[in-house]
Amino acid sequence: MKKVCSGFVLLTLALGISAGVFFPTEVVGFAQFGNLVQIRELNFIPDALTFPAGTISVLVVQNREDFITQHEVWSRELFEPGTLVSISGSGTIEYGYKTINRVLLDPGQEVVIWFYVEKDRIYNFHCNLNGHAMHAVINGS
């Protein structure tokens, strides 16, 4: 059953992408369907989120530092092979072998992450650049 559902979700996402359903063109258009996290004063704000399981959800992370500090968004859970995820935005996406390694964000840049939220799954994301350590978590419920 899981394989059928997974195939159905992939097909639905593919059709939605081609029709423009899951990829609105304005931040205002999808902010009501997702969550916004801002990076300020070396923190993810907020640092704990809950997304409904079984949905395609949107996470927007914006670097809003007042000083020149580059940040990264990396997540073993969000970017691991097999996770249904799509990324866009003004940050620099760094790829590894068959996966996304991280997204680099200069001040004023943002990353938009669409992903399928699995039930009871915890998605951690981090920034460890420039000698600081930031952590945030998404709970799928």
pLDDT for 33: 53
The structural domain count of the chain equals 1
Q: pTM of the entire structure? A: 0.77
The domain in which residue 63 lies consists of 25-140
CA distance 39 to 119: 27
Q: Examine residue 87 and state whether it is found in any structural domain, yes or no.
A: yes
| pLDDT over 80 at 26, yes or no | no
Using pLDDT thresholds of 50, 70 and 90, give the confidence band for residue 11.
very low
According to DSSP, residue 130 is labeled G
Q: Examine residue 32 and state whether it is found in any structural domain, yes or no.
A: yes
CATH of the domain at 73: 2.60.40.420
Strands (E), 41-107: 43-45, 48-51, 56-63, 71-73, 85-89, 92-96, 99-105
pLDDT for 107: 96
CA distance 39 to 61: 7
